[in-house]
Structure 1
């Protein structure tokens, strides 16, 4: 009798090991993305609570008519810069702490919305944004289409939007303001799907490394900024001014 081994006998354990490895990877990816969403949602909730309490206290109305308003408005940018450019030097705990501090300071900045818009219109716009964000992020997570090609276009669009917004401070054009709001909603809607796919892809590189925890924080920060910007631009359409 010939001395040979059936390749199916050796292949079966290998296939089983591969299946187990794939299942473990999928479970790790789900846990990773769930952590990103939990941080992001918790940050948005903290921002909303701080904004509401600060506005209701009357302090927002007092401070936003003084030069201190610029400190409140620009402070969140400082946290974003530190996290974005210093993440490699920060520990995971420090990155998490800075994220929560950023979300709180952002709440102080966004308290001005409660002074400009009615509470009901803010609530309606928030839930509309949350619904759109969930749908777009889910699509970005599940689609097989590679969205990386849209990244440069979307980022260039945001830069152009920022320039137009600065110019409109001087021109004060209602038509330009409306156009900026419409384009802003579309750009950050696209970025929500694009960033979700990018964050998902990042797991392939950080899984099992010390950077995984910090990657969760940065992913949450990215989606948080997409959500807040989409909400702010949409509020200019749906919001009822006081």
Structure 2
């Protein structure tokens, strides 16, 4: 997708653009709902079976950690080649993240989870609207946020060994700022990519790719807010 220039614009029918945006945000919403449903099922209906599986299969945790990374690469690589496959991979990604959320949710109070969800939804919705409709170019903002994300990942790896609650709290605040910026950038970027393609590639594939990017922005906002509210209550 880096081959697309953000400075080039083609004439696109506004109706087709709106259909694309509706499809992209619809798929993103579907992914979030699937993750929530999966997390609920794992924590309630299949709690005993899942716990037994994880205890008897130590590799299960590594599978949960690595599989979303593999699926993400698969969607990015096949977005314009096989939209149907990418949609399946997106659904699978949402389910795997839902399993991960089941682990995370067990460590937090229900009020923290609800507050984090409302906060992340509010921030995401606001920035997605700004990114979609603003005439300001967010390319530079996205570049800075992407660079900051690399630094954040390194800092989180260091803190994994340091185990400092204060550092974790501060990193969560930084993560909210980064993914707030990335949400606006990704929303604008996917809109611009669709305009640049002008029907030359599958709009369904682009919608799945955009849904994945925005889904990842949302869940990272949610996890970061959850860490912030959870840490605040522990202080």
Q: What is the CA distance between 1:146 and its match in structure 2?
A: 0.8
Which deviations, in whole Å up to 9, do the C-alpha atoms of 1:72-110 show, x marking residues without a partner?
A: 22221110111123435x411111111111111111122
Give 3-state SS (helix, strand or coil) of 2:13's partner.
helix
Q: What is the CA distance between 1:63 and its match in structure 2?
A: 5.3
Which deviations, in whole Å up to 9, do the C-alpha atoms of 1:189-230 show, x marking residues without a partner?
A: 000011111011111123323421100000000000000001
Q: Residue 27 of structure 1 aligns with which residue?
A: 15
Q: What is the CA distance between 1:67 and its match in structure 2?
A: 4.5
Give 3-state SS (helix, strand or coil) of 1:131's partner.
helix
TM-score by length of 1: 0.84
From 64, 76, 84, the equivalent of 1:72 is 64
Q: Residue 151 of structure 2 aligns with which residue?
A: 160
From 117, 123, 129, the equivalent of 1:126 is 117
Q: What is the CA distance between 1:178 and its match in structure 2?
A: 1.2
Q: Report if the CA contact (8 A) 1:133-1:192 is conserved.
A: yes
Q: Residue 37 of structure 1 aligns with which residue?
A: 25
Give 3-state SS (helix, strand or coil) of 2:106's partner.
helix
Bigger RCO of structures 1 and 2 (CA < 8 A, at least 6 apart): 2
What stretches of structure 2 of length at least 5 have no aligned partner? 1-10
Deviates more, 1:33-42 or 1:170-179: 170-179
Higher radius of gyration, 1 or 2: 1
Change (3 A) 1:86 1:92: closer
Q: Report if the CA contact (8 A) 1:35-1:216 is conserved.
A: yes
Give 3-state SS (helix, strand or coil) of 1:120's partner.
helix
From 96, 104, 117, the equivalent of 2:108 is 117
TM-score by length of 2: 0.86
In 1: Cα distance, 2:32 partner to 2:50 partner: 19
What stretches of structure 1 of length at least 5 have no aligned partner? 1-21
Q: Report if the CA contact (8 A) 2:74-2:86 is conserved.
A: no
In 2: Cα distance, 1:216 partner to 1:111 partner: 27
Q: Residue 164 of structure 2 aligns with which residue?
A: 173
